Amino acid sequence: MQFNSDRLTYYFTTLCEIDSPSKGESKLSSYLQDLFHDLGADLVFEDNSSFVTGSDCGNFVARFAGSRSDVEPLFFNCHLDVIKPCLGVKVRKINDIFYSSGDTVLGADDKAGIAILIETLIAIILENIPFAPVEFVFTTCEEIGLLGAKAFDPSVLVAKYGYSLDSTSIDNVIIGAPASYGISAEIHGLASHAGLRPLYGINAIQLAAHAVSRLPLGQIDGETTANIGLITGGTATNIIPDYVRVDGEVRSHNLSKLFSTLDLFKNTFQDSVANWHDPHNLITTRPSLAFASPEQYPLMKLASDSLPVLRAHQAGSFLSRPLQFIQAGGGSDANFFNASGLPTAILGIGMENIHSVSENIKLSDMLRTAELIYSILTC
How far is Cα 112 from Cα 284, in angstroms, rounded to an integer?
A: 61
* Residues 338 and 165 sit within 8 Å (Cβ to Cβ): no
Residue 43: DSSP 8-state: E
User: What residue ranges do the domains of the chain occupy?
Assistant: 5-177+300-378, 179-296
Whether residue 142 lies in the annotated active site: yes
Count helices and strands in the chain by DSSP H and E runs: 10, 20
Could you count the other beta carbons within 10 Å of the beta carbon of residue 267? 13
Q: Which of 25, 110, 135, 142 is catalytic?
A: 142
Instruction: Note the pTM of the prediction, 2 decimals.
Output: 0.92
CATH architecture of structural domain 179-296: 2-Layer Sandwich (3.30)
How far is Cα 161 from Cα 121, in angstroms, rounded to an integer?
A: 18
pLDDT digits (tens, 9 = 90+) for 293-333: 999 999 999 999 999 999 999 999 999 999 999 999 989 99
Whether residue 352 lies in the annotated active site: no
pLDDT digits (tens, 9 = 90+) for 120-166: 999 999 999 999 999 999 999 999 999 999 999 999 999 999 999 99
Q: Which of 47, 81, 242, 333 is catalytic?
A: 81
- Amino acid letter, 320: S
* CATH of the domain spanning 5-177+300-378, picked from 3.40.630.10, 3.40.50.410, 3.40.5.10, 1.10.287.1080: 3.40.630.10
pLDDT digits (tens, 9 = 90+) for 89-122: 999 999 999 999 999 999 999 999 999 999 999 9
By three-state DSSP, how is residue 174 classified? strand
* Residues 43 and 72 sit within 8 Å (Cβ to Cβ): no
